[in-house]
Amino acid sequence: MKNDIIEILLTEQEINEIANKMGKQITEDYKDKDLLLVGLLKGCVPFMADLSRNIDLKLDIAYMAVSSYHGGINSSGDIKIKMDLDMSVKGRNVLIVEDIVDTANTIVTVTELLIHRGAKSVKIATLLDKPAGRQKVYVPAYIGKTIPKAFVVGYGLDYDEKYRNLPFVGILDPKVYIK
Ligand code: IMP
């Protein structure tokens, strides 16, 4: 599996440092607020586990699953809710935890939905930001690392459901998806 990676963008050590630093900042920013972390499955799982353990607050965690890719490498822009939250967001300060923001179609759609459902505030903490891919103007509140426009996998990020279990983030060899 590791042979399919042409360049490592974030090592395990760097990811730990990001989770630690971002967790401290979120702890400070939300210290007097009621915080609900919302993870977007499946890519958020490793980052949610690491980030949440670095936030020293009594918070809630909930998950939802939305899809946009349908197995390829380009976002379709057509967002579907595959699994909804198991708690209300009404009146709550929501922090969405994401693996990556690319076109921003997913995060803008989910933010609008949660605001519509009565969330008091909605922000995002993302491990990676790929601003070159934007189709909508959006600046995430918390960004682990800004990366160039490449297709990356690992640490939750997949290509066709594979590579999520890599402990680092790396650029996938285009030979894997260009047939
Ligand atoms: P957006 O709606 O285009 O911002 O895409 C967000 C979602 O697309 C992420 O949560 C990922 O699931 C997926 N995605 C975007 N870029 C990549 C990538 O480079 N590798 C793997 N998944 C990606």
Q: In this structure, what CATH number is given to the domain that contains residue 47?
A: 3.40.50.2020
Give the chain's domain count: 1
Tell me, yes or no, whether 158 lies in a domain. Answer: no
Output the CA 39–ligand 1 centroid distance in Å: 14
| Residues annotated as part of the active site | 102
- Looking at residue 76, what is its pLDDT? 60
Output the CA 105–ligand 1 centroid distance in Å: 10
E strands, 70-154, in order: 80-83, 93-101, 121-129, 142-146, 152-153
Please say whether the beta carbons of 49 and 63 come within 8 A: no
157 lines ligand 1 (CB under 6 A): yes
pLDDT averages per 10-residue partition of the chain, 179 residues: 95 98 98 97 97 98 84 66 96 98 93 96 98 95 96 97 98 93
- Looking at residue 74, what is its pLDDT? 65
Output the CA 114–ligand 1 centroid distance in Å: 20
- The closest of 5, 3, 51, 1 to 169, measured between CA atoms, is 5
102 lines ligand 1 (CB under 6 A): yes
- Looking at residue 71, what is its pLDDT? 56
Task: Supply the pTM of this predicted model.
Answer: 0.94
- Looking at residue 103, what is its pLDDT? 93
- Looking at residue 72, what is its pLDDT? 61
101 lines ligand 1 (CB under 6 A): yes
Please say whether the beta carbons of 64 and 81 come within 8 A: yes
Tell me, yes or no, whether 160 lies in a domain. Answer: no
- For ligand 1, atom 9, name the residue with the nearest CA: 100
Cis peptide preceding 120, ω within 30 of 0 = no
User: What does the buried/exposed string (b/e) look like for 96-123 if buried means 16 or more CB atoms within 10 Å of the residue's CB?
Assistant: bbbbbbbbbbbbbbbbebbeeeebeebe
Tell me, yes or no, whether 19 lies in a domain. Answer: yes
Domain that holds residue 56: 12-147
Please say whether the beta carbons of 79 and 109 come within 8 A: yes
127 lines ligand 1 (CB under 6 A): no
